[in-house]
Amino acid sequence: MGWLTPTMQDLLLQAFWETLVMVGASAAIAVACGLPLALLLQVTGPGGLRPMPWLQRPLGLLVNALRSTPFIILMVAIVPFTRLVAGTSIGTGAAIVPLALAATAFLARLFENALREVDAGVVEAARAMGASRWQIVTKVLVPEALPGLIAAVTVALVSLVGFSAMAGAIGGGGLGDLGIRFGYQRFMPEVMASVVLILIILVQGLQSLGDWLVRRLSHR
Amino acid sequence: MLLLPGHNAGAMRDVTDPPAIRLAGLRKRFVAGGAVALDDVSLELRTGEIFGIVGRSGAGKSTLIRTVNLLERPNAGSITVMGQDLLALDEGGLRAARRGIGMVFQHFNLHHRRTVAENIAFPLEVAGMPAAARRARVAELLPLVGLDAKRDAFPAQLSGGQKQRVGIARALASAPAVLLCDEATSALDPETTAEILALIRRLRDQLELTVLLITHEMGVVKAICDRVAVMEAGRIIEQGRVFEVFTRPAHPTTRRFVAEVIGHGVPPGTLARLPEPGLGQQRRLAQVLFLGPHSTRPVISEASRDFGIDINIVSGRVDEIAGEPFGVMALAVYGPAAAIDAAFGWMRVLGLLIEEDVAWAG
């Protein structure tokens, strides 16, 4: 364990923290933007509460375009936008911008799928009972889809952990960046191994927490 | 208004009362140029009656019941519920009107993540009732459907019958005058079906509800309906009091439906074993419906004695439709043609309904 000097410990801890910040912040933004987007896609879609193809189709196209762009390319391509939002294009804070954007598109689709899983009969019953569209969204669609939405957030968090490793390319820091710089470039396989181990534990923890929440909330 | 308890409470209403539900000239096509779901459908439901619409799947009955609360908008026609023209309402007005029309669904359509009490409270919540009042109302509704013990259970923990009881309590939460039942018992086993139908009838009597139900099972109509309409290809082909429609079906489709429930069902093997008629004699098969004042008279033995014919009772049964008793018998009659004609004529005078050469195979 000679490689685990106090300096290296600090580096690992720092990197772990950066990963948590990148993943946590971008996930929070993605949930906040992705849910309204998914609701809009669902409600304005064919068979939705208010079909509006002129809005739904371009929106769906935009989401797909974002989803089909490889993250590493997206990150570089939106540098001007990142600079506008974060004031800089380098560092952990700047990395959150492309991460949040990619995750928003990703989550919007996953959320949309979860919303589509809601029993159409329950929605119809709510209409028959005189519920307004807003009430159907807030009292039926979202609560009924909640387990599916949580499962989607879990998937997104796990993917974000992976994406965040690429953020090192723009100086975003984090565990992935540490693994590349020390484990790969400086030939320290122990660092690489510990980075991978921490990531595995992190992903396992997120997945277990997500699964537990879904089970608790389902009542199926 | 006084409501007599019992089966025909609805029919007891003065026919001059304004109808609870009035549908006039409804037309619906889902795709322009496509199949017609509703083809000039008109119906009037009297206050307090249970009205059944029966038809095969695709006959348009589901579309019809869904137009009554405008879940489906017709292409033409008018819909009046409790004196209110629904098509004239704006969105807010329609939402308010829907609160006065309860609806029960085939697949219950309960919120999986809400408890029984929370499901029943949903329409009240939507209507903006304060939480305390909602709790009080739910506490009234639970015993009405016999679910006190299940108030905090989730739908997944309930049987089909219990789920439908929740559905009914929810439909009645905002004290509607009209209850729509969309195949409410089609997903239930026969025993549970009988329970739920009895509950609907009891609630109708207790709460003076007007009930419109659709079903593909004639047994449901026989069990609780006062009047019935038969639908085929988007049209109403026959309607009337259940007893009349069952005992004197006019349309072939109605006959087939009725046969499902009061069919004599003589096994073909039995028919084959019937003795052949003697020389100069006929053997004629007939279904006889006993109803009216002479239904207790010993008609068979009198006919046999007075007309010199032999009567072989192949099958027979006494039943009740809409609370009125009737008997149905399958007869094989032997004798000279003139004597049989005379006997049948005499029986018809007594008010029996005789149908010869009906499809006997059960």
Residue B3 has pLDDT above 60, yes or no: no
pLDDT for residue A176: 86
Q: Tell me which residue of B249, B243, B184, B237 sits closest to B39, measured CA to CA.
A: B237
Beta carbons of B284 and B343 less than 8 angstroms apart: no
Residue A80 has pLDDT above 80, yes or no: yes
- Give how far A168 is from chain B: nearest CA, Å: 42
DSSP conformation class of A185: I
Q: List Cβ neighbours of B24 (8 Å cut-off, separation of 6 or more).
A: B42, B77, B78, B80
Chain B residues closer than 8 Å to A140 by CB: 111
Alpha carbons B306 and B313: distance in angstroms, whole number: 17
pTM: 0.86
Q: Which run of H or of E encompasses A146?
A: helix A142-166
Least confident stretch, A7-11, A146-150, A162-166, B2-6 = B2-6
Minimum Cα–Cα distance from A138: chain B residue: B126
User: Would you call A128 and B170 a contact, using CB atoms and an 8 Å cutoff?
Assistant: no
- Angle, helices A92-116 vs A53-68, to 10°: value is 130
Is B176's Cβ below 8 Å from some Cβ in A? no
**What is the number of other CB atoms lying within 10 angstroms of the CB of residue B204?**
22
Q: Can you give the CATH number for the domain in which A195 is found?
A: 1.10.3720.10
Alpha carbons B208 and A106: distance in angstroms, whole number: 53
For residue A72, what are the domain limits?
6-218
Greater confidence (B278 vs A24) lies with A24
Beta carbons of B110 and B167 less than 8 angstroms apart: yes
Strand intervals (E) in chain B: 21-29, 36-45, 50-54, 76-81, 84-85, 101-105, 178-182, 210-215, 227-232, 235-241, 282-290, 310-321, 324-335, 353-356
Alpha carbons B227 and B238: distance in angstroms, whole number: 11
Least confident stretch, A108-122, B31-45, B207-221 = B31-45
pLDDT, one tens digit per residue, over B75-127 is 999 999 999 999 999 999 999 999 999 999 999 999 999 999 999 999 999 99
The CATH homologous superfamily of the domain defined by B10-100+176-261 = P-loop containing nucleotide triphosphate hydrolases (3.40.50.300)
For chain B, what's the residue count? 362
Give residue B4's pLDDT band: very low, low, confident or very high (50, 70, 90): very low
Q: What percent of chain A has pLDDT over 90?
A: 67
A108 part of a folded domain: yes
DSSP conformation class of A115: H
Residue B7 has pLDDT above 50, yes or no: no
Mean pLDDT of B227-239: 95
Mean pLDDT of A121-148: 96
pLDDT, one tens digit per residue, over B276-298 is 888 888 888 888 888 766 667 78
Beta carbons of B282 and B325 less than 8 angstroms apart: no
Architecture of domain B264-356: 2-Layer Sandwich (3.30)
pLDDT for residue B264: 54
pLDDT for residue B15: 56
CA B96 to chain centroid: 28
User: Would you call A139 and B127 a contact, using CB atoms and an 8 Å cutoff?
Assistant: no
In chain B, the N- to C-terminal Cα span, in Å, equals 46
Beta carbons of A29 and A104 less than 8 angstroms apart: yes
Q: Tell me which residue of B120, B154, B163, B122 sits closest to B138, measured CA to CA.
A: B120
A1 part of a folded domain: no
Going from N- to C-terminal start, the domains of chain B cover 10-100+176-261, 264-356
Q: Taking phi first (over 0 means left), then psi (-120 to 50 degrees means alpha), and beta for anything else, what does residue A219 get?
A: left
A95 part of a folded domain: yes
Give residue B263's pLDDT band: very low, low, confident or very high (50, 70, 90): low
Alpha carbons B264 and B267: distance in angstroms, whole number: 9
Give residue A56's pLDDT band: very low, low, confident or very high (50, 70, 90): very high
Beta carbons of A125 and A107 less than 8 angstroms apart: no
C-alpha dist (Å) from residue B152 to A51, A205, B59 = 36, 32, 39
User: Would you call B103 and A125 a contact, using CB atoms and an 8 Å cutoff?
Assistant: yes
Mean pLDDT of A149-161: 96
Chain A residues closer than 8 Å to B97 by CB: 130
Q: Which run of H or of E encompasses B247?
A: helix B242-247
Q: Tell me which residue of B313, B316, B304 sits closest to B340, measured CA to CA.
A: B304
Number of A to B CB contacts under 8 A, please give it.
74
Domain count, chain A: 1
pLDDT for residue B358: 59
pLDDT for residue A169: 66
Q: Tell me which residue of B86, B22, B84, B87 sits closest to B51, measured CA to CA.
A: B22
Is B131's Cβ below 8 Å from some Cβ in A? no
Minimum Cα–Cα distance from A144: chain B residue: B113
- Report chain B's mean pLDDT, rounded to a whole number: 88
SS3 of B165, please? Answer: helix
Mean pLDDT of B198-202: 95
DSSP conformation class of A170: G
For chain A, what's the residue count? 220
Amino acid (one-letter) located at B24: A
Nearest to B112 among A126, A130, A220 (CB): A220
Is A124's Cβ below 8 Å from some Cβ in B? yes
Greater confidence (B130 vs A191) lies with B130
Is A215's Cβ below 8 Å from some Cβ in B? no
Beta carbons of B346 and B303 less than 8 angstroms apart: yes
Greater confidence (B163 vs B10) lies with B163
**What is the number of other CB atoms lying within 10 angstroms of the CB of residue A157?**
23
Nearest to B69 among A121, A128, A140 (CB): A128
Greater confidence (A167 vs A209) lies with A209
pLDDT, one tens digit per residue, over B206-232 is 999 999 999 999 999 999 999 999 999
Give residue B10's pLDDT band: very low, low, confident or very high (50, 70, 90): very low
SS3 of B264, please? Answer: coil
